[in-house]
Structure 1
Amino acid sequence: MTDLKSSARQIVQRFRDAGLTVDGLHEHLGPAATAALYRGEPAAVRRVLGTSVIDDLIRAFILRDPVDPAQLAGVETQAVDGGVRSLIDVRPYHLAGTDLWILSDADASMTEHVPGSDHVLGVGAASLTLLQSVPPGQVNSTLDLGCGSGVLSLALAQTSDSVTATDIHPRALDFARANAHANDIDIDVRAGSWFDPVAGQRFDRIVSNPPFVVGPDSVELVYRDSGLGLDGASQLMVSQAPGYLTENGSAHLVAAWVHHEGQSWQQRVASWLPERGVCAWVLQRDVVDPETYVSTWLRDESLDPRSAAGQEKMTRWLDYFAEHEVTAIGVGFVAIQNIGDAPSEITAEELTQGLSADLGPEVAEYFARAEWLRTRSAVDIAQSQFAVRPGLAREEVSVANEDAGVGFAPAALRLTRTDGPRFSHEVDEALAAIVAGLHPQGLSLVDIVELYALSHDLDGDALLDDAVVAIVDLIRHGLVIPTQLCEENE
């Protein structure tokens, strides 16, 4: 590989000097051509280009058109008709509130291209969604395990005093060092397998977008295949990350897990975590059948499932799944916090609604809510004051009344968040009324329950027991917020 580090700074400086940031690119191309660029339609972009320096950079490093070799000095190229084509992709990004320029191996977004086994990704969807799941706030130390081209390291360096980036792949490490150098960011880049390069160390924050693809125990593409078989890569990361966290430190991982008939996926992932010391929130964002899963990853490597090679590979992959009785594959996020020697608290659930904002603030709030619950007894909760989350909706659902043959009959009553993950809970009229009476400086939960019980001639003790259990679930999902947490966030 060409000594990319020595030329990376010069390339990025050309982008800076030309004003080729994300905003500069959008302004230069206009909305229609910019949208075409992100859809992977080079012709629509090429037709609006002129002769400026920005146009030349877009042609050479984003569209990867044939150009004069002098424009690509120090960059790996391929000889083609009309000049040479860059084998390196350079693009501007705005991540974590700062302008960055990321160098990576060229992909198939702008030209027909089949990545090699040592392909190094740029900014992919998995990296972006993982970044959005990291809580905001400054920390002392961050570990980016399986850093690839260093995307997460560059972004999280904005909120971390030190960043350590590791990878087993030499080419990825070259890109990570080049990107750090080109963007004037100090990152400690280390070579090694999994946690080996940081043995004995602990970090305030761990992030990892590892080669988590579920498949056979072989490595065909380094960025995708771990060689561990099935969901072994995710199991390794989830089980070992807690041992490298500082007190109250947290890990944020992209992961995948197999579904087996007769075993819940929640139980499978929970078994990877220790019995003590962690608060873990596992969110399954998507679940797909084996056929769809394999087809998606074949297309990701630019392999047509209709081709002979594609059909042969799909058959091998699906046979492997059948042999191991895989019925589906789940994909999502795992957030883990070190809580010392306390019994572990593990919540694994489906994220059925689309997010209305980044997940990071929600993860931070989830850990705060879990800590509040962890340090309170049922009596403490009953005597506490609470606020109803702003924007919480009361939904009353009625359906056609089949018995009467006319009109509608009540079918469900729900309390639903209108922000973040938009969690929804079915409740009865009593709980809905109790929640409606909550005020951060008002009556305690026990007082509200007693008033409701007296006015409806109910057993107050039994109603309180039920209300405490229900309120705990509402707190965990942020529909109801303890007054103490409201005050801390002011």
Structure 2
Amino acid sequence: MNDLLDRLRGILLDTGYTIDGVRERLGAVAAAALSREETVPALRATAGDDPLGLLIRLWWLGAPVPARAAPVGLPVAELAAAGLVAVEDDLVTAAVHLQPWESGGYVVSDRKVRPGDPALRPDHVVGAGGASANLAQLASRRPVGRALDLGTGCGVQVLHLAGRAAEITATDVNPRALELARIGWALSGIEGIDAREGSLFEPVEGERFDLIVSNPPFVISPAGRFTYRESGFSADGFCRDLVRLAPRHLSSGGTCHLLANWLHVRGEDWRDRVGGWLTGTGCDGWVVQRDVQDPAQYVELWLRDAAEQGTPRYRGLYDEWLGWFEAEGVTGVGFGWITLHDSGSLDPVVRVEEYGGQVELPVGEYVDEVLGAVAVAHRMSDAALLASRPVLAAGVLEERIGPPGAEDPARIVLRQTRGLRRSVRVGTVEAALAGVCDGDYPLGPLLDAIAELTGEDPSDLRERAPQALRPLIAEGFFHISTG
């Protein structure tokens, strides 16, 4: 098998079946149509018997290709014996979806389901998509010793971890997922992955890791129909348990990044619900709700995901799901990121927020700074803050808004052009500090100078300023230097 996959990898690379090669061949129109589940433009763009077009039709689009036209050296008979293709009447049809990935390498999964296709098998292995990319963008980029990909699915996170983790363990409850993931890793030239079968942290009981990532089966439904997206746990209990158990498997200084769904329940603040998952973990935490859908939107999304639209069972499944949400008092479902960091502090801090704005990618390049800023803003005493030397973060701009000719602006806004790209309305003192904080002077004397210019009482300003600055430090507008 390994020899077969080595030869197949060589053919894929030689024919240009890479992410750049596929994008160039398809073009913008066909690529956009595929995002809408329309394949006709892509089939037209890959018409003919050239090797790259044939491989795209076979592996990406799932269309049969003539065996006689197969690229030179493609071991069709061996691939059929390995269960990767089927051959009938001189036509070769892919039994799996084989796609090049953004980071390099290849991802192998079950074929993409489209409207009109047969119903999914319960152990269906979904390919890499938007959620996979989101998690890969979120995870910290710092090198680590041991990494765990919990719920690896088709194994795409391993492709991102391989360049920065000395040891990688990947787990999944679905043995078919591990089988296809191993094929993808081999095609990507990645060796030495410790793949284990089991749910949650059972396969790694008693072990600790420097980095844990998980794109878990977070879909919330009345019944677990598909292992790739539903855990069978009640409501959002799987994500809750994942958060609560993760710290037991983090090394000192370790970090866990995961995607999750959570319920919005009538009479309950979702921040309290999800924040409660992190309470008692002993870790610093950062929860970001990136999107929220009403119950009907949510049900429609996941019925489309399984190509249920237009089938006889669609209305019944839709009604059952909505009825279950109604019985549970659900008003919406949130989606977002959860990050845990074992900082070793006896005073862990958890930030829970809603933020749907566009961010600089990858978040993993600066996620450690985000966690550090939240911790500093929470833990630093007023005296220590007044003695520190704040620095305005790179890329922060000031906007002044008001009537033309007015002596004072009606509103002052600080706006980040990098990182999370937040914006915040500030007062004149914070705006003045933004203009002078370069790390050369402690905050206390700067406030005294501002008080002299504005006519405020210096003692009063020193007392008020730390509380006003903490949110700006936590959100990355100011960095703190204690030197």
Taking structure 1 as the reference length, what is the TM-score of the superposition? Answer: 0.89
Deviations 1:27-70 (A, max 9, x none): 44455445545554432222233322222212221222223564
Pairing of 1:328-339 with structure 2 (within 5 A): 328-339=332-343
CA distance in 1, matches of 2:376, 2:34: 47
Equivalent of 2:268, from 254, 259, 263? Answer: 263
Instruction: Please name the residue that 2:350 is paired with.
Output: 346
Amino acid at match of 2:389: Q
Instruction: Please name the residue that 1:281 is paired with.
Output: 286
Equivalent of 2:98, from 90, 98, 101? Answer: 90
Q: Is the contact between residue 255 and residue 331 of structure 1 (CA under 8 Å) also seen in structure 2?
A: yes
Amino acid at match of 1:261: R
Q: Is the contact between residue 285 and residue 341 of structure 2 (CA under 8 Å) also seen in structure 1?
A: yes
CA distance in 2, matches of 1:458, 1:408: 19
Pair 1:419–1:373, CA change in 2 (3 A): same
Residues 1:160 and 2:157 aligned together: no
What's the CA shift for 1:433? 1.6
Equivalent of 1:444, from 428, 442, 449? Answer: 442
Q: Is the contact between residue 398 and residue 408 of structure 1 (CA under 8 Å) also seen in structure 2?
A: no
Give the match's secondary structure for 2:105.
strand
Moved more, 410-419 or 246-255: 410-419
Give the match's secondary structure for 1:154.
helix
Deviations 1:114-149 (A, max 9, x none): 422211011111010011001212111110000101
CA distance in 2, matches of 1:314, 1:11: 42
Q: Is the contact between residue 247 and residue 281 of structure 2 (CA under 8 Å) also seen in structure 1?
A: no
Give the match's secondary structure for 2:277.
coil
Pair 1:13–1:113, CA change in 2 (3 A): farther
What's the CA shift for 1:383? 1.1
What's the CA shift for 1:455? 2.7
Instruction: Please name the residue that 1:206 is paired with.
Output: 212
Instruction: Please name the residue that 1:481 is paired with.
Output: 479
Pairing of 1:114-125 with structure 2 (within 5 A): 114-125=119-130
Structure 2 runs not aligned, ≥5 long: 68-75
Amino acid at match of 1:208: S
Instruction: Please name the residue that 2:200 is paired with.
Output: 194
Instruction: Please name the residue that 2:453 is paired with.
Output: 455
Deviations 1:190-247 (A, max 9, x none): 011110000010000000001001122x220111111112111110111111111011
Q: Is the contact between residue 67 and residue 83 of structure 1 (CA under 8 Å) also seen in structure 2?
A: yes
CA distance in 2, matches of 1:227, 1:477: 37
Deviations 1:85-135 (A, max 9, x none): 22201111121xxx2111110013598454222110111110100110012
Residues 1:294 and 2:291 aligned together: no
Instruction: Please name the residue that 2:392 is paired with.
Output: 388
CA distance in 1, matches of 2:122, 2:407: 61
Amino acid at match of 1:465: E
Pairing of 1:22-421 with structure 2 (within 5 A): 22-37=19-34, 39-48=36-45, 49-68=47-66, 70=76, 72-73=79-80, 74-77=82-85, 83-95=91-103, 99-108=104-113, 112=117, 114-185=119-190, 186-216=192-222, 218-275=223-280, 277-304=282-309, 307-373=311-377, 376-398=380-402, 411-421=410-420
Instruction: Please name the residue that 1:15 is paired with.
Output: 12
CA distance in 1, matches of 2:97, 2:32: 18
What's the CA shift for 1:388? 1.1
Q: Is the contact between residue 63 and residue 111 of structure 1 (CA under 8 Å) also seen in structure 2?
A: no
What's the CA shift for 1:26? 3.1
CA distance in 1, matches of 2:126, 2:146: 24
Q: Is the contact between residue 87 and residue 105 of structure 1 (CA under 8 Å) also seen in structure 2?
A: yes
Q: Is the contact between residue 208 and residue 253 of structure 1 (CA under 8 Å) also seen in structure 2?
A: yes
Residues 1:434 and 2:433 aligned together: yes
CA distance in 2, matches of 1:338, 1:159: 19
CA distance in 2, matches of 1:357, 1:181: 28
Q: Is the contact between residue 145 and residue 166 of structure 1 (CA under 8 Å) also seen in structure 2?
A: yes
CA distance in 2, matches of 1:33, 1:256: 32
Deviations 1:368-399 (A, max 9, x none): 32344466321111111121122212233448
Amino acid at match of 1:337: H
Percent identity of paired positions between Structure 1 and Structure 2: 33
What's the CA shift for 1:470? 1.8
Instruction: Please name the residue that 1:404 is paired with.
Output: none
Deviations 1:242-267 (A, max 9, x none): 11101110000001111122321111
Give the match's secondary structure for 1:420.
coil
Moved more, 369-378 or 199-208: 369-378
Q: May I ask how many residue pairs the two structures share in their alignment?
A: 470
Moved more, 234-243 or 427-436: 427-436
Give the match's secondary structure for 2:344.
strand
Amino acid at match of 1:311: R
Q: Is the contact between residue 114 and residue 307 of structure 2 (CA under 8 Å) also seen in structure 1?
A: no
CA distance in 1, matches of 2:403, 2:96: 58
Q: Is the contact between residue 402 and residue 408 of structure 2 (CA under 8 Å) also seen in structure 1?
A: yes
Structure 1 runs not aligned, ≥5 long: 401-406
Amino acid at match of 1:460: P
RMSD: 2.6
Deviations 1:295-324 (A, max 9, x none): 1111011111x6441111111111111111
CA distance in 1, matches of 2:341, 2:48: 52
CA distance in 1, matches of 2:351, 2:218: 21
Pair 1:155–1:434, CA change in 2 (3 A): closer
Deviations 1:338-383 (A, max 9, x none): 0225122100001131223322123111123234446632111111
Moved more, 264-273 or 70-79: 70-79
Q: Is the contact between residue 5 and residue 183 of structure 2 (CA under 8 Å) also seen in structure 1?
A: yes
Give the match's secondary structure for 1:449.
helix
Give the match's secondary structure for 1:416.
strand
